[in-house]
């Protein structure tokens, strides 16, 4: 129930952006208009996510694009993930809980990447990624 206030605010914001034309992203391959430019949440994808990464990519999508372009793509490989999570914590405010959550999220993401890199080849055809 706590997420519904965010869903409501984001969907209402999308409606306003689309009504003013800001959400128009051009035309798709089939020639139909695409209104996903200002889409900030994929509710169905978030609620039915099977892993942490999928849930993150469905939540606060436009902020993620900004974080990726501003922090992740501009930093060295060794620090880019940690610096992106730190910037996200700064963006949210100066509360200790945010820093613990986002730093924990950075280490969780690193661990998940390592586990996936080690385990996934065993489930691929031919035993190689």
Instruction: Point out the residues that are catalytic.
Output: 60, 92
Residue 41 CB neighbour total at 10 angstroms: 20
* Cα–Cα distance list, 59 to 34, 37, 43, 65, 67 (Å): 20, 15, 8, 11, 13
Residue 12's Cβ-count burial label (10 Å; 0-12, 13-18, 19+) is: exposed
Taking the C-alpha atoms of residue 35 and residue 52, their distance in angstroms, rounded to an integer, is 26
Taking the C-alpha atoms of residue 95 and residue 66, their distance in angstroms, rounded to an integer, is 22
């Amino acid at each position: 129930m706590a997420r519904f206030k965010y869903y409501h605010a984001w969907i209402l914001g999308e409606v306003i952006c689309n009504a003013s034309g800001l959400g128009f992203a051009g035309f798709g391959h089939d020639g139909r208009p695409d209104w996903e430019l200002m889409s900030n949440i994929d509710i169905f994808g978030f609620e039915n996510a099977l892993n942490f990464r999928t849930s993150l990519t469905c939540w606060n999508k436009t902020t993620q694009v900004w974080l990726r372009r501003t922090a992740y793509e501009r930093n060295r490989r060794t620090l880019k993930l940690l610096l992106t999570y730190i910037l996200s914590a700064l963006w949210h405010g100066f509360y200790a809980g945010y820093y613990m959550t986002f730093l924990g999220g950075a280490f969780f993401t690193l661990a998940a990447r390592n586990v996936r890199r080690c385990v996934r080849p065993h489930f691929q055809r031919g035993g190689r990624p």
